[in-house]
Structure 1
Amino acid sequence: MNFFKKILMIAAFAPLAASAQKKEDLKPNWFNLDLQKDGVFGISTERAYELVKGKKAVPVTVAVLDGGVDEEHEDLKTVMWKNQREIAGNNIDDDKNGYVDDVYGWNFLGSAKGSVRFDNLEIVRLIRIYQDKYASVLNSTPLSTAERREFSLYKKLVTEHQSKLQNARFGYENYSILKKNLDSIERRIGKEKLSLNDLDKYRAKNDIESKVIKVVRSELKKNPDYSEFTKELNETLEYYHNQLNYHLNLEFDPRDSIGDNYADVNERIYGNSDVTGPDADHGTHVAGIIAADRTNKLGINGVADQARIMSVRVVPDGDERDKDVANAIRYAVDNGAKVINMSFGKSYSWNKATVDSAVAYAARKDVLLVHAAGNDSKNTDYENNFPNRIYGDTTNANYWNLSNRIEVEQALQTRPMPGVMGGIGRPNVPTGPRVDSAKFSRPQAPNWLEVGASSWKDDETLVANFSNFGKRTVDVFAPGVRINSTMPGSKYEEQQGTSMAAPVVSGLAALIRSYYPSLSAVQVKDIIMRSVAKVDQKVKIAERGESKKVNLSDISISGGVVNAYNALKLAEEVSKGK
């Protein structure tokens, strides 16, 4: 699932903390600005361009693996990758690569029938796989060792699914009540856009209306734009609606409409050429951060002035599928991408071996992969976030995370478990107390950058409160809070998440590779990590419900925020062999 997480404004009509501050004005394109010069913790992009004035650059293709990109956006249409070997709209595979009319990229979530928008979470797909075999099994039922592991997994999945389903029902019911009563208040007042003054004058008809007014007043004190409040309310209500009807619905499965043999992980040719798809908000926003036209005086400035955006549609509204992700990586590599941005992730992976194979293929072809760390405020040294750089991580521990790690350790008592039985098969469980060292002793992709999200203030709030982190799993931090970027229909909007931080780094990687094309993907990764802006003060994080202050080096490998100016200086030195 893409990592744009809806900001839920209330819980059961309880307003946000009264101490919440009024929305702060931000400098345009703050993520490209410089801390010393501009007072915000951007990545010094504008300053970096002073280092390469007059220097020759080459175009670099950046593949955006996402939910779709609006290739006609005013700030993107000049920077889109175009397959020069393909003739648009003639329904012929002109370049003989197997993908008909792939002019701007490819859509692995479609067919001649159209394009898929919604899909399940991976947990639902896994329950469907196991339920026929284990739904009626009891704890006392005789099972083999392998079956006992599957049965334990099935029970865990069902419990987690029920919890998610209950939360979605609760959220949908409460937000429906909020919206219904707010609509009623608007009608009584006689205005569609309410103000604080309107609410102060209004006399509530009952206790529910009093709670609704309290919630709305709290939000309008921080941001008086009532339209923005109602927009967010409608998006949140839609979020819960989609969870109930698609993400968590065991009866919903859209895969038949694509027409592939889903069990065949080696199948490459399926989909259609619709790279925009039915919901291109997230992917368009990501693309703009990387490469929005820096010369047209419209909208925003992307990080990289020579990047060309290839759109590969692979992320539905729901969890992406491993087969599609693997094929998207291979498509991007085979069609010339040198950087691949992946602003998505999930807690379970059914066939990570397929993704691992594609990641290794990208490594062999000198392609850098940039991945968002996730928005759950979790330590990914212990919590699963797929895909990731660790080869075989899932085939040994794909369905197990911190919530049952202690139980697993106690059950196994350090005994190793047998391997996965080929392809789509049974998961292994981590070996006991040495589970962490075992995890990190596995081979890792050298061409992978994992990105957490940072904010604009050089203080204890620098790390975004939603960002995942990890001393051994997150490489760098980059701006990911209130990032203004492109939206479909030549519009612009602020979004936030590690989804926004990853394309900042993808843009930086493209910037380096365009001005120093002789550098390899691994060298570019090394340059980005060695050139970070270090942070002296401790930053706040919340781990397992406990708030604490830590050094950035305690929650990331590099211990810093990426910096374009430092990176280009270092790239110059490395390219000269210094």
Structure 2
Amino acid sequence: MKLKLAKKGIALFILVAVGYPPVTAIEHGSRPTEGTRVYAAFQTNDPDIIREGFLGRIRAYEAWDIVRQSTLQQEVIVAVLDTGVDVAHPDLASNIWRNIDEIPGDRIDNDGNSYIDDVNGWDFVDSAPDPRPKITGAYSFEAVHHGTVVAGLIGGVADNNFGIAGAAYRVSIMPLRVLDSTGSGNTIVLAQAIQYAVENGADVINLSLVGDVSDPRLVQSIDDAYARGVAVVAASGNQEHAGINLNDSPRYPVCEKSGVNHVIGVSAVDESNRLAPFANYGSDCIDIAAPGTNLYSTVWHRDRETGFEAYYSGGWSGTSAAAPLISATLAMMKKVAPQLGIADRYRALLSGTVSIASANSRPQDLGTGLVDSYQALTLAVGYTRENPLRVILAPGTGFEPFVVVKDKAGVTISQFLAYAPSFRGGVQTAVGDIDGDDENEIVTAPLSGGGPHVRIFDLQGRLKGQFMAYAPGFVGGLSLTVADLNGDGVSEIIVVPLVGGGPQVNIFNARGDLLGQFMAYASSFRGGVRLTSADLDADRKAEILTAPASRGGPHIRIFNAAGTVLGQFMAFDTTMRAGYALGVGDLDGVIGSEIIVVPEVDTGVQARIFDAHGTEKNRFPLFPEFNSIEEAMSLVVADYTGDGRPDIIAFPLRQGTDVKLFDYYGRVVEEVSLSNVDPATRAVRYTYSLTR
């Protein structure tokens, strides 16, 4: 099946083939009514902003103030999956996403993403790098303009003395053409475009389209987007005379559900906050409402082409015109609270709405109410403050086994004994939601001299569980990580012996039940193994990464939960014999995690960064002052600074020094003192874990 874009009153769907569920877009109506501008501290100089009365209704101006006052100004990208976008439009051009890793026009896939010359996006209809609308064949004016209308509502350039301003202040638009110039498309193409958006850095995906049949490929692509923290916004769809109840006749993707709500469903209201007469509704599918009648925006411009001479047009009505206002709000939330998880972003968006119950007989069918961009951003910032960074300090060798929980300022929140006070072998910690209560737990394991005793505490130090990971007689210490290996939202506990034990990795749940085991290296290897974990392939199931803890070659291996080797590579010269510290995270800001490896050798502490396939991407010295000392290293990859990107947090274990935070390029971005060094012996007191 496929769809047809049309004005209100025209049937939306045409059955043409089995297996291709359709998707459609919005319609063009009458000229707009001019709204009254609501002034805030920041006033743009865009002359046509007075035509955008909806900005005042959703409190966009006040939201812009929050964005402008924020020190977090990283790029936020909204993917517009539609009929194409006029990337040369003077009120859009400077906000169009630029793929900096692609060289335009050289017919080479420079960035290796399987799309040649995708400098500004991709045309999935014609499999071409130009994401603009096309009028070489059959077309409708509404369809050709539609993607540019949506892009302008989200990201029209603000404060440029020209035209309009989009609802999102300082945002990038990634144009992905998935509908042809009649408004037709299918879910195969749509799923491919969603995957492209996720893999190329989109933070929000706008789907101003709708169909009447679900498709597992589309569901999977949306689930993958959510798992990667990408917000997905979908219009509810429109009807000729009166909208339908989606509880009875669901449409997709707005009604896609996977147990957890991965799609923000949007319906439209008129200037009086009443359900727009054409808009679909329904409590099962609609999360929120936005203005969707008589909107003014950018359109596709082409000189000397009848019907396309204008830069702007009004009278745009439809739920697909409402959805971009939600995408814009989510984009600004990402900008001011980049470290906030996708579930909390959705929560802030839906909790910050304005009640429209008095204007509607069934307000429950319009979600939580009318979007309030200012309140959504305020809540997002507040949630970040309510969920502050916690630094977990685990004692090093020679110190009592006190685990200390501090805030970022170094103030102690809690502390507790992980083991008997007489134990001085050191403790390793890992943090994650082990029991599915939506709260992180602290998992501990001895470093050396203690039995294989794994213990689980809450953040206040209350013991929640414990078990022996190996035979009680083993006292060589354990390496430890926690990760969700099966995609159920609950982390498993992964352990492996350190020096003196074999390389058998064991996987447990919170009760201590053995879920799986495998050999990380040859069974005869006794140098110990170090662990870390991350979801490298975005399937919502973490992979396990291993490296020798001592006396081993630089052999990095990647496993799934079943112990299947998914990848492996040599991080340094194959003749090197050492232990290796491991970390993993999205260090370069491009979709996909990097692996950082640091050897413990006497020729200098050098870090090397690899992609998931083992291709080296960067290298730099961590602590050049210790270039002649064989140095063990504590290495954590986590967002300490709160800018939404992981930091490389490192310090030598045998040298008294403050903790240093490095970026992807090896630059020291911060030095942190948390009373880590014993003043008498200069011995390192703690290693670190971090959580929010």
What is the 5 A alignment of 1:6-25?
6-7=7-8, 25=33
Q: Is 1:302 aligned to residue 112 of structure 2?
A: no
Other-structure match for 2:266 = 451
* Cα offsets for 1:114-144 (capped at 9, x unmatched): xxxxxxxxxxxxxxxxxxxxxxxxxxxxxxx
Other-structure match for 2:332 = 511
Q: Is 1:27 aligned to residue 41 of structure 2?
A: no
Other-structure match for 2:220 = 357
* Cα offsets for 1:269-293 (capped at 9, x unmatched): xx11120031541000000000100
Change (3 A) 1:570 1:333: same
- Tell me the distance in 2 between the aligned counterparts of 1:482 and 1:31: 21
Secondary structure at the counterpart of residue 164 of structure 2: coil
Other-structure match for 1:158 = none
TM-score (norm 1): 0.55
Change (3 A) 1:453 1:388: closer
Overall identity of the aligned pairs, in %: 30
Secondary structure at the counterpart of residue 115 of structure 2: coil
Query: Which amino acid is the alignment partner of residue 45 of structure 1?
Result: A
> Alpha-carbon deviation of 1:50?
3.0
Change (3 A) 1:470 1:527: same
**Larger-gyration structure (1/2):** 2
- Tell me the distance in 1 between the aligned counterparts of 2:264 and 2:340: 16
Other-structure match for 1:343 = 208
Q: Is 1:66 aligned to residue 82 of structure 2?
A: yes
> Alpha-carbon deviation of 1:8?
5.3
Query: Which amino acid is the alignment partner of residue 273 of structure 1?
Result: P
Q: Is 1:568 aligned to residue 377 of structure 2?
A: yes
Q: Is 1:378 aligned to residue 244 of structure 2?
A: yes
Secondary structure at the counterpart of residue 174 of structure 2: strand
Does the aligned pair in 2 maintain the 1:58–1:515 contact within 8 Å? no
Does the aligned pair in 1 maintain the 2:64–2:169 contact within 8 Å? no
Change (3 A) 1:74 1:41: closer
- Tell me the distance in 1 between the aligned counterparts of 2:233 and 2:192: 16
Other-structure match for 1:274 = 130
- Tell me the distance in 2 between the aligned counterparts of 1:389 and 1:371: 9
- Tell me the distance in 2 between the aligned counterparts of 1:496 and 1:273: 30
Does the aligned pair in 2 maintain the 1:373–1:451 contact within 8 Å? yes
- Tell me the distance in 2 between the aligned counterparts of 1:92 and 1:48: 41
Q: Which runs of 5+ in 2 are unaligned?
A: 11-29, 44-48, 136-143, 302-309, 388-692
Return the match for 1:477 from 289, 292, 312.
289
What is the 5 A alignment of 1:312-323?
312-316=176-180, 317-323=182-188
Query: Which amino acid is the alignment partner of residue 463 of structure 1?
Result: L
Other-structure match for 1:366 = 229
> Alpha-carbon deviation of 1:24?
7.3
Other-structure match for 1:123 = none
Change (3 A) 1:31 1:312: farther
* Cα offsets for 1:425-456 (capped at 9, x unmatched): xxxxxxxxxxxxxxxxxx33533100001122
> Alpha-carbon deviation of 1:299?
1.3
Secondary structure at the counterpart of residue 153 of structure 2: helix
Query: Which amino acid is the alignment partner of residue 551 of structure 1?
Result: R
Q: Which runs of 5+ in 1 are unaligned?
A: 10-21, 111-270, 392-442, 540-549
- Tell me the distance in 2 between the aligned counterparts of 1:345 and 1:39: 23
* Cα offsets for 1:355-410 (capped at 9, x unmatched): 1111111122111100000012011111131224535xxxxxxxxxxxxxxxxxxx
Other-structure match for 2:362 = 551
> Alpha-carbon deviation of 1:344?
0.6
TM-score (norm 2): 0.46
- Tell me the distance in 2 between the aligned counterparts of 1:39 and 1:341: 18
- Tell me the distance in 2 between the aligned counterparts of 1:89 and 1:79: 21
Secondary structure at the counterpart of residue 360 of structure 1: helix
| Alignment coverage as a number of residue pairs | 335
Higher strand share: 2
Other-structure match for 2:353 = 532
Does the aligned pair in 2 maintain the 1:79–1:293 contact within 8 Å? yes
Other-structure match for 1:331 = 196
> Alpha-carbon deviation of 1:319?
3.7
* Cα offsets for 1:273-318 (capped at 9, x unmatched): 1200315410000000001001212111101122100011111224
Does the aligned pair in 2 maintain the 1:363–1:445 contact within 8 Å? no
- Tell me the distance in 1 between the aligned counterparts of 2:202 and 2:372: 23
* Cα offsets for 1:512-567 (capped at 9, x unmatched): 1011111122211111100001124142xxxxxxxxxx1312x1331x10001111
* Cα offsets for 1:60-90 (capped at 9, x unmatched): 0110000100000011000000000001111
What is the 5 A alignment of 1:47-196?
47-56=62-71, 57-110=73-126
- Tell me the distance in 2 between the aligned counterparts of 1:388 and 1:8: 21
- Tell me the distance in 2 between the aligned counterparts of 1:469 and 1:334: 32
- Tell me the distance in 1 between the aligned counterparts of 2:68 and 2:115: 39
* Cα offsets for 1:97-130 (capped at 9, x unmatched): 11000011111111xxxxxxxxxxxxxxxxxxxx
Secondary structure at the counterpart of residue 234 of structure 2: strand
Change (3 A) 1:311 1:577: same
Does the aligned pair in 2 maintain the 1:389–1:445 contact within 8 Å? no
- Tell me the distance in 2 between the aligned counterparts of 1:94 and 1:375: 41
Does the aligned pair in 2 maintain the 1:456–1:479 contact within 8 Å? yes
Does the aligned pair in 2 maintain the 1:30–1:456 contact within 8 Å? no
- Tell me the distance in 1 between the aligned counterparts of 2:172 and 2:33: 31
- Tell me the distance in 1 between the aligned counterparts of 2:328 and 2:101: 26
Secondary structure at the counterpart of residue 366 of structure 2: coil
Does the aligned pair in 1 maintain the 2:3–2:186 contact within 8 Å? no
Q: Give me the CA root mean square deviation.
A: 2.7
Change (3 A) 1:513 1:24: closer
Does the aligned pair in 2 maintain the 1:4–1:497 contact within 8 Å? no
Secondary structure at the counterpart of residue 93 of structure 2: coil
- Tell me the distance in 1 between the aligned counterparts of 2:232 and 2:328: 12
Change (3 A) 1:488 1:504: same
Secondary structure at the counterpart of residue 225 of structure 2: helix
Higher helix share: 1
- Tell me the distance in 2 between the aligned counterparts of 1:480 and 1:39: 9
Change (3 A) 1:284 1:40: closer
Spell out structure 1 runs of 4+ moving beyond 4 A: 1-5, 28-34, 38-41
> Alpha-carbon deviation of 1:472?
1.7
Query: Which amino acid is the alignment partner of residue 232 of structure 2?
Result: L
> Alpha-carbon deviation of 1:3?
9.1
- Tell me the distance in 2 between the aligned counterparts of 1:2 and 1:343: 13
Secondary structure at the counterpart of residue 451 of structure 1: strand
Query: Which amino acid is the alignment partner of residue 134 of structure 2?
Result: P
- Tell me the distance in 1 between the aligned counterparts of 2:326 and 2:95: 18
- Tell me the distance in 2 between the aligned counterparts of 1:446 and 1:386: 13
Change (3 A) 1:344 1:2: farther
Query: Which amino acid is the alignment partner of residue 313 of structure 2?
Result: E
> Alpha-carbon deviation of 1:47?
2.1
Does the aligned pair in 1 maintain the 2:336–2:381 contact within 8 Å? no
Does the aligned pair in 2 maintain the 1:367–1:447 contact within 8 Å? no
- Tell me the distance in 2 between the aligned counterparts of 1:379 and 1:31: 37
Secondary structure at the counterpart of residue 73 of structure 1: coil
Secondary structure at the counterpart of residue 85 of structure 2: coil
